[in-house]
Amino acid sequence: MKAVRVHEYHVDPSIDDIPEPTITGPLDVIVKVGGAGVCRTDLHILEGQWAEAMAPELPYVIGHENAGWIAEVGAGVTNVAVGDTVILHPQPSCGLCLACRAGRDMQCSNAFFPGLSSNDGGMAEYLRTTARACVPLDPSTNPADVAALADAGITAYHAVRKAVPLLYPGTTAVVQGAGGLGHIGIQCLAALTATRIVVVDRNPDALALAGKLGADATVVADGTEVEQVKELTKGAGADVVLDFVAEQGAESNAWAMTAPAGSQFVIGYGGELRIPTLDFVAGEKNVIGNIVGTYTDLAELMVLAQAGKVTLHTQQYPLANALDAIHDLDAGKVRGRAILVP
Amino acid sequence: MKAVRVHEYHVDPSIDDIPEPTITGPLDVIVKVGGAGVCRTDLHILEGQWAEAMAPELPYVIGHENAGWIAEVGAGVTNVAVGDTVILHPQPSCGLCLACRAGRDMQCSNAFFPGLSSNDGGMAEYLRTTARACVPLDPSTNPADVAALADAGITAYHAVRKAVPLLYPGTTAVVQGAGGLGHIGIQCLAALTATRIVVVDRNPDALALAGKLGADATVVADGTEVEQVKELTKGAGADVVLDFVAEQGAESNAWAMTAPAGSQFVIGYGGELRIPTLDFVAGEKNVIGNIVGTYTDLAELMVLAQAGKVTLHTQQYPLANALDAIHDLDAGKVRGRAILVP
Amino acid sequence: MKAVRVHEYHVDPSIDDIPEPTITGPLDVIVKVGGAGVCRTDLHILEGQWAEAMAPELPYVIGHENAGWIAEVGAGVTNVAVGDTVILHPQPSCGLCLACRAGRDMQCSNAFFPGLSSNDGGMAEYLRTTARACVPLDPSTNPADVAALADAGITAYHAVRKAVPLLYPGTTAVVQGAGGLGHIGIQCLAALTATRIVVVDRNPDALALAGKLGADATVVADGTEVEQVKELTKGAGADVVLDFVAEQGAESNAWAMTAPAGSQFVIGYGGELRIPTLDFVAGEKNVIGNIVGTYTDLAELMVLAQAGKVTLHTQQYPLANALDAIHDLDAGKVRGRAILVP
Amino acid sequence: MKAVRVHEYHVDPSIDDIPEPTITGPLDVIVKVGGAGVCRTDLHILEGQWAEAMAPELPYVIGHENAGWIAEVGAGVTNVAVGDTVILHPQPSCGLCLACRAGRDMQCSNAFFPGLSSNDGGMAEYLRTTARACVPLDPSTNPADVAALADAGITAYHAVRKAVPLLYPGTTAVVQGAGGLGHIGIQCLAALTATRIVVVDRNPDALALAGKLGADATVVADGTEVEQVKELTKGAGADVVLDFVAEQGAESNAWAMTAPAGSQFVIGYGGELRIPTLDFVAGEKNVIGNIVGTYTDLAELMVLAQAGKVTLHTQQYPLANALDAIHDLDAGKVRGRAILVP
């Protein structure tokens, strides 16, 4: 089969012809890939940024945002059958450790991450993952339409879901960064809460889109964004700041925008937070970490998607043209999410 | 192997010689039974009370409260190995349905209940269950010492655990029924909260034991127990009533003992609650259902047990003398919990 | 001033000329009434149904659902000033007992309930209440447009607010009774959650309105409503049933419609729940009581109202024609809520 | 009356003879001081560290940790009467703003802080505060025995109370700093949870005391404390780290000791946290701010104290010798908490 493989860092991957994956354990499933998202993290992989943390053995297939159809199942698989349409949680978990038993998939002691850890990912015709990664979809769903929810979507949803109890009517939530994740976050906030949604971004086009997706107010990130958020909140700041940027100063702004007793949710990364401990005390403010999401997060998000409450802008490329997609993403030419299709 | 099998309702089970169970699926495990609790539910099974609900095919082996050592594992089992000491969650869950993914094992769509549903239980030399039922124990643990925590213990713990957020300092919790489950519930309350614990029981001996296990006050259930609880709470009633009896009027007393904005937890069964809907409104009171517990409940309870914070009184019988244990239980002659040992 | 006073039970109240109320304590406020809702509870008062529970000294002014403008304030009042537009929490609380300190206004040890307890209510030109009852509104608000939120609205909102954590995407909420409270409940559910909303009512017109307000499915209560809800939920039942009826069998239906691990919220009253304790255990189901709501509930609801997310149908009557409003309500001729205006 | 007044920063306060305070508003109370704690914050006030933030008009009376007897009450006070024994929440709140209505006293929009803001404190014979600060005590309580719970105690309790839902059996909580606040925190953890308590401090005497108060393990802070905590937790770190130090590197250690998905509670202050946003994401870890506590926190803590579950070491000084107490504290000569008594 065809697959996008990284052979060397700082070099384009190649489209190789490799054997199809096979079942190796009772909970394994083989998925015929119907849509594979191209993510900024893929660019970082190519740059070698994940080489140390994940130590994948090269060459390997990238692609960690996938949906498709079940092609084969292991002997212990009972939740999906050949032919089922599925979206895949990016990190298959073991189901047996204490974290799994509590529903905290991302803290699984035995998980792997196809396309990121040393396991072949989904920019290929077929992908091996496990039964525990599979969220069944309505058979009529086109996997390419939803694939981007498997990583970008679940990550935004997870953070919003954790923030819901804080966002009762009368509160304000700031979404900093209305890009790939942020524009999903806005839709999740609008679907799950009646909070006032304020969106901060440098890009006026992104803000215009945000307005259509549910933002109640938008703020151009022109250096005065903290002041603008303060003004919009009578000086108090926002009860919750969902920071999808978290670098280049945005992380400090997010803290400054957070009201007393409020919470800054870190979702993006790249920067460094520097906060005097006195500020945590005086304001009784919190910083909340977030990583991807749980299986139930993804299942819930698919309910929103199938109800039309969360929609995605995608730009499709044939798998054979994967390098175009990667180059376009790198060049900032992709509107919405680039998706590889068979 | 030897096994206690029910052949007919309303008749003593017999100790049969039957083949040892074998692995049938990749997540199966075979456990050498080290301790099998004899529960009042076993008497109800013999009386045919579960015939309709569970429809087991006779003859079958009873025993749903088990601990022991792993004897054999299926191909997909990664959390335990042959020789490990384990206590067994009574209802192995599938790990793949939405309830399982949220950690709500008892609502699993595909669970079974060895010794209760149409699956052989643990009053035998060996038991087949699955990897998902196994909570690993310190190797030095004697399974017979802890087996009763597998059902009686987890059930009491689960209810207490759900009540913890309601039981901050200054509140009162009533434990109605200080028997097999209740005396564990008292210890769990004392370990997990600083609430005032009031124990209600007909039996002065049970109340004396309750005092040693952590009760702050005891009330003889002599027909004036509601008034006594009211007096102990300045007329308000208790914030939480854990009703381990829930029959013969105790269920109504539990409601009457519950303070405005309080909650009655139903754990025992047999009676019927009759409450005007106005009383739910006027008092803003709740009735909370409870069934067994989750895998993490059992794992947490074993932490308490291994720290000596929950202890059990048991009376051991050789497996060959299982009928003595059953008869003694029926005759009210068992102090603590009857446990069958190899 | 003019006021609607009950002199005798089972007899129409009369419109009397009585002295205006005066400040009696430092937290008192006098409110010029701009809108006073006429509630079914007022009919029950006239029938003497509250005579024993509340024991008001006759004659007294009824009306417990009020909004207006501050006319006078006591020496300790700091949150509102003369001229402010306000909606009034129906039960002024003391602010000093432990329940108040925890934000649980309805459990205040020292509260009173103007128009219901032995204190004059709001079917009058002026009303005495306290600073703690006052939720400030945008000055442009017409009190008559929002008065019904002070009792019907807060009660529906409170129950929905408590249910929100249970109503993540993929769940189903049944609203039983789409009348005065229920139609507000539907709007609150749609604003605060992405649950699927199923509305059950006998009246097709009420169901048609429900569809416009956010119901995803409607069910005619024709005796098959339990089966219909089961069908809509693949046999499982609803995760939450908000029962705004709770009499004449609806309360039993609500229980039957509730899924395993689900919760029935009792908001209406009049009937009696009869449930075997085994059913609480086997299904791990809950019954949750609800009464009116907290001050913050009312403040949050006003945010929804001022954002247009909750709207009311009202039918206004001059205070002088209060008896017409009462008779129309009794005769089932009021569309939406009857409101007395100055 | 005698009172300890600050006239100038960087200079000892003086014991002045000033008029007794008088009632100025309907909710005011005058308290005869029975015990006034001397806190490190008082030293910081004398050093001028709070001059800018609080801007008190000099001279003024310090002392923000007080208990005593009600001497006089305003016209609107209903919760306490002359002669009652009370402990005082340090920050009287208004009871009318939204934060107060939700029970979040420390976020009150209109609060003041006697002895810290520009209001006379409790190092005097009498103190003016309000009804909302008063927690009634058993009349037999000696205010001097409990005064330190009014600030040090409530602050430790508040943080522990927030952490309770995270600290189920099987978890580990680290207490960093076993001094004035920390040694109360240890007792609160032991009373409210069954978590494993690990205490980190430089001082072996403090660790010895910690062991008596409920610590399951102690770690000398000798530069290897992070490694030691990791070893005690199989490399994972602690689920919760309560950092009562939060300066001089302890704040970074606290972060390093925190397990994935765990939370660092900042209670002490003085240092600066520097954390890459990637670390919040990769570990899904949180930093939680904490300030003093709510009224109900103090009321709950007094329940623990009166049940003997939290005890204090104090060293009493007559009010006239206040300067000795202040000098001793500054010189590190106070064992436990210094308390001024009449």
pTM: 0.97
CA of D44 to nearest chain B CA: how many angstroms apart?
33
Neighboring chain D residues of A240 at a CB cutoff of 8 Å: none
C248: phi then psi, degrees, rounded to nearest 5: 55, 35
Of D160, D259, D165, nearest to D214 (Cα)?
Answer: D160
The structure tokens listed for C36 are 């006073």
Torsion of CA B121, B124, B130, B132, to 10 degrees: 80
Contact D104 A288 (CB under 8 A): no
| Residue pLDDT tens, chain D, 342 long | 999 999 999 999 999 999 999 999 999 999 999 999 999 899 999 999 889 888 999 999 999 999 999 999 999 999 999 999 999 999 999 999 999 999 999 999 999 999 999 999 999 999 999 999 999 999 999 999 999 999 999 999 999 999 999 999 999 999 999 988 999 999 999 999 999 999 999 999 999 999 999 999 999 999 999 999 999 999 999 999 999 999 999 999 999 999 999 999 999 999 999 999 999 999 999 999 999 999 999 999 999 999 999 999 889 999 999 999 999 999 988 878 999 999
**Among the listed residues A272, C103, B108, the one whose alpha carbon sits nearest the alpha carbon of residue D103:** C103
Q: List, as ranges, residues 131-190 from A with C-beta within 8 Å of B.
A: 131-132
| Cβ atoms of D259 and D239 closer than 8 Å | yes
pLDDT in tens, C157-203: 999 999 999 999 999 999 999 988 999 999 999 999 999 999 999 99
pLDDT of amino acid D162:
98
What integer is the mean pLDDT of B56-63? 97
Contacts of D57 (CB under 8 A, 6+ apart): D118
- Which of A96, A131, A295 is closest, CB to CB, to B132? A96
Identify the pLDDT of residue B129: 98
User: For residue B158, is pLDDT > 90?
Assistant: yes
Whether the CB of A307 is below 8 Å from some CB of chain C: the reply is: yes
pLDDT reading at B235 higher than 90: yes
Q: Are D262 and D287 in contact (CB under 8 A)?
A: no
Q: Is residue B291 within 8 Å of residue B106, measured between CB atoms?
A: yes
What is the rounded CA–CA span in Å between residue B45 and residue B182?
Answer: 22
pLDDT tens for residues C79-118?
999 999 999 999 999 999 999 999 999 999 999 999 999 9
Asked about A277 being catalytic, the answer comes back as: no
Task: Look at the block and give the residue holding tokens 């909420």.
Answer: C173
Calculate ∠ Cα B107-B108-B114, nearest 5°: 105
Q: Please give the pLDDT value at position C336.
A: 80
Compute CA distances B43 → B12, B46, B243, C337, D327, whole Å: 10, 5, 21, 58, 73
DSSP B63: -
pLDDT at residue D332, rounded to an integer: 86
Residues of D in contact with B303 (CB under 8 A): 169-170, 194
Residues of chain A with pLDDT under 50: none
Mean pLDDT of C297-311: 97
Band of the pLDDT at C313, cuts 50, 70, 90? confident
Chain D residues 64-123 with a CB less than 8 Å from chain C? 74-76, 78-79, 94-98, 101-103, 105, 110
Contacts of B327 (CB under 8 A, 6+ apart): none
A-B C-beta contacts closer than 8 Å:
63
Closest C-alpha to A164, from A154, A153, A152, A173: A173
Q: How far is CA B268 from each of CA B178, B200, C203, rounded to the nearest angstrom? A: 12, 14, 40
Q: Do A260 and D284 touch (CB under 8 A)?
A: no
Residues of D with CB below 8 A from C295's CB?
Answer: 101
Q: CA dist C31 to C23, C67, C124, Å?
A: 11, 8, 10
Residue A331, pLDDT score: 93
- The continuous run of DSSP H or E covering D174 comes out as strand D172-176
In the 3-class helix/strand/coil scheme, how is chain C assigned residue by residue? Answer: CEEEEECCCCCCCEEEECCCCCCCCCCEEEEEEEEEEECHHHHHHHCCCCHHHHCCCCCEECCCCEEEEEEEECCCCCCCCCCCEEEECCCCCCCCCHHHHCCCHHHCCCCCCCCCCCCCCCCECEEEEEHHHEEECCCCCCHHHHHHHHCHHHHHHHHHHHHHHHCCCCCEEEEECCCCCHHHHHHHHHHHCCCEEEEEECCHHHHHHHHHHCCCEEEECCCCHHHHHHHHCCCCCEEEEEECCCCCCHHHHHHHHEEEEEEEEECCCCCEEEEEHHHHHHHCCEEEECCCCCHHHHHHHHHHHHCCCCCCCEEEEEHHHHHHHHHHHHCCCCCCEEEEEC
Whether residue A260 lies within 8 A of chain D, CB to CB, comes out as yes
C-alpha span between A77 and A27 (Å, rounded): 5
The pLDDT of residue D335:
79
Cross-chain Cβ contact A275/D278 below 8 Å: no
| Residue B300 to residue D170, Cβ atoms within 8 A | yes
Average pLDDT of chain B? 96
Interface test with D, best of A247, A251, A281 (most D CBs within 10 A): A281
> d(Cα B168, Cα C153) in Å, to the nearest integer?
31
Model confidence at C139, pLDDT cuts 50, 70, 90, reads very high
Alpha-carbon separation of residue C228 from C174, C207, C224 (angstroms): 11, 15, 6
Give yes or no for residue C283 having a pLDDT over 90. yes
**pLDDT given for residue D218 in this prediction:** 98
Residues of C with active-site annotation: 41, 44
Yes or no, beta carbons of D27 and C25 under 8 Å apart: no
Cα separation, A209 vs A246, whole angstroms: 21
Supply the angle between the helices B204-213 and B182-192 in degrees, to the nearest 10. Answer: 20
Which pLDDT score is estimated for C53? 85
